[in-house]
Amino acid sequence: MTKDECRKLVIDIISDIAPDEDLTTVKPEVRLRDQLQLDSMDFLDIVMELRKRHGIEVPEADYTQLASLDSCADYLTPKFQTKA
């Protein structure tokens, strides 16, 4: 999976968790919580959906690596490559 595909995957999960958010203007390099009305429970939902939908485990120690779309892509891309 490419970094762009990982970004889209995260956007898709956020759109399900927070359907009222406008995700068309999300800047990939800016922290998601600085751009969107996401609380800590929403963030945990993102982590849970990654596990449920894609079998990707994100240990709590790695949560900070999912701060922005770019950091999500950097973190998730190698995880998908090792899964394949």
Query: Rounded CA gap, 18 and 83, in Å?
Result: 28
Model pLDDT for residues 12-50, shown as the tens digit of each residue: 999 999 999 999 999 999 999 999 999 999 999 999 999
- The domains located in the chain, with CATH, are 3-83 (1.10.1200.10)
As separate numbers, helices (DSSP H) first and strands (DSSP E) second, the chain gives: 4, 0
31 bridge partner residues: 68
Q: Which two tokens stand for residue 16?
A: 């399900």
Query: Rounded CA gap, 56 and 34, in Å?
Result: 24
Stated pTM of the model: 0.92
pLDDT band at 84 (very low <50, low <70, confident <90, very high): low
